[in-house]
Structure 1
Amino acid sequence: MIYSMTGYGRCEIEENQRKVTVEMSAINHRYLDINMRMPKLLAHFEEDIRKIIKKKVARGKLDLNIYCYSMATEDIDIIVNENICKGYIEGFSKIAETFNIENDMKLSHLMQVNDLITIQKKSGDNDEVMATLTKALETALDELLVMRLREGEALKADILQKTEGLNKLIEAISSRSYLVVDEYKRKLEARIASLLENVSVDPGRIAAEVVLFADKCAVDEELTRLKSHIVQLVSILEEDGAVGRKLDFLMQEINREANTIGSKANDYTITKYVVSLKTEVEKIREQVQNIE
Structure 2
Amino acid sequence: MIQSMTGFGKAIVQLPTKKITIELKSLNSKNLDINARIPSFYREKELQMRNTIAKVLVRGKIDFGLFYEITGEQTATQVNQNAVREYLRQLKEVHPEIVKTPQDEIELLKMAVRMPDALKTEKEEIDDEEFSAIEEALKQALIEIETFRIEEGQALEKDFVLHVKNISELLHEVEAMDGERIGGIRERLEKAVSEVKENVDANRFEQELIYYLEKYDITEEKVRLANHLDYFLTTLETHDSNGRKLGFICQEIGREINTMGSKANYAPMQKAVVQMKDELEKIKEQVLNVL
Query: What TM-score range do you get, normalising by the shorter chain?
Result: 0.7 to 0.9
1:130 aligns to what SS in structure 2?
A: helix
The residue that corresponds to 1:7 in the other structure is 7
Q: Distance in 1 between matches of 2:15 and 2:153?
A: 34
Structure 1: where are the runs of 5+ without partners? 96-110
Q: Which residue of 1 aligns with 2:38?
A: 38
> Shift of the alpha carbon at 1:73?
9.7
- Provide Cα deviations, 1:36-62, integer angstroms capped at 9, x if missing partner: 001000011111111111122122111
Q: Is the 8 A contact 1:35 1:62 kept in 2?
A: yes
- String of CA shifts for 1:22-48, please: whole Å, max 9, x gaps: 112111111111100010000111111
| Percent identity over paired residues | 32
Partner of 2:142: 141
Runs ≥4 in structure 1, deviation > 6 angstroms? 71-75, 77-82
Alignment partner, residue 106 of structure 1: none
Change (3 A) 1:186 1:79: same
Tell me which amino acid in the other structure corresponds to 2:184: E
Unaligned runs of 5+ in 2: 94-108
Q: Distance in 2 between matches of 1:172 and 1:119?
A: 75
Contact 1:76 1:124 in 2 (8 A): no
Task: Tell me the TM-score normalised to structure 2 length.
Answer: 0.81
The code of the aligned residue for 1:151 comes to E
Q: Work out whether 1:273 is the aligned partner of 2:262.
A: no
Look up the SS of the partner of 1:121 in the other structure: coil
Q: Using a 3 Å threshold, how does the CA distance of structure 1 residues 169 and 65 change in structure 2: closer, same or farther?
A: same
TM-score (norm 1): 0.81
For residue 58 of structure 1, what is the aligned residue in structure 2? 58
Which residue of the partner structure matches residue 100 of structure 2? Answer: none
1:218-258 alpha-carbon deviations (Å, 9 max, x no partner): 22222221111111100111123331111111111111111
Find the aligned partners of 2:29 and 2:2 in 1 and give their Cα distance: 16
275-284 or 180-189: bigger deviation: 180-189
Q: Any idea what SS the aligned residue of 1:24 has?
A: strand
In 1: Cα distance, 2:136 partner to 2:75 partner: 19
Over the aligned positions, Cα root-mean-square deviation in angstroms equals 2.9
1:21 corresponds to: 21
Deviations 1:166-213 (A, max 9, x none): 1111222233333333222222222222343xx543321321122111
Residue aligning to 1:259: 258
Other-structure match for 1:184: 185
**Amino acid in the other structure paired with 1:164:** K
> What residue is the counterpart of 2:130 in the other structure?
129
Selected match of 1:120 from 95, 119, 122: 122
Partner of 2:105: none
Shift in alpha-carbon separation, 1:273–1:77, aligned structure 2, 3 A: closer
- Structure 1 residues 186 and 70: alpha-carbon distance in aligned structure 2, compared to 1, 3 A threshold: same
Contact persistence 2:13–2:19 (CA under 8 A) = yes
**Post-superposition CA distance 1:114-168 (Å, at most 9, x none):** 647734131231x222211112211112221222111110110011011111111
Question: Residue 287 of structure 1: CA displacement?
Answer: 1.4
Match of 1:202 in 2: 201
For 2:227, what is the secondary structure of its paired residue? helix
Q: How does 1:90-101 map onto structure 2 within 5 Å?
A: none
Q: Within 1, Cα distance between the matches of 2:5 and 2:126?
A: 35
Say which SS state the counterpart of residue 218 (structure 1) adopts: coil
Q: How does 1:171-250 map to 2 (within 5 A)?
A: 171-196=172-197, 200-250=199-249
Between Structure 1 and Structure 2, how many residues are aligned? Answer: 268
* Counterpart contact for 2:42–2:126, Cα < 8 Å: no
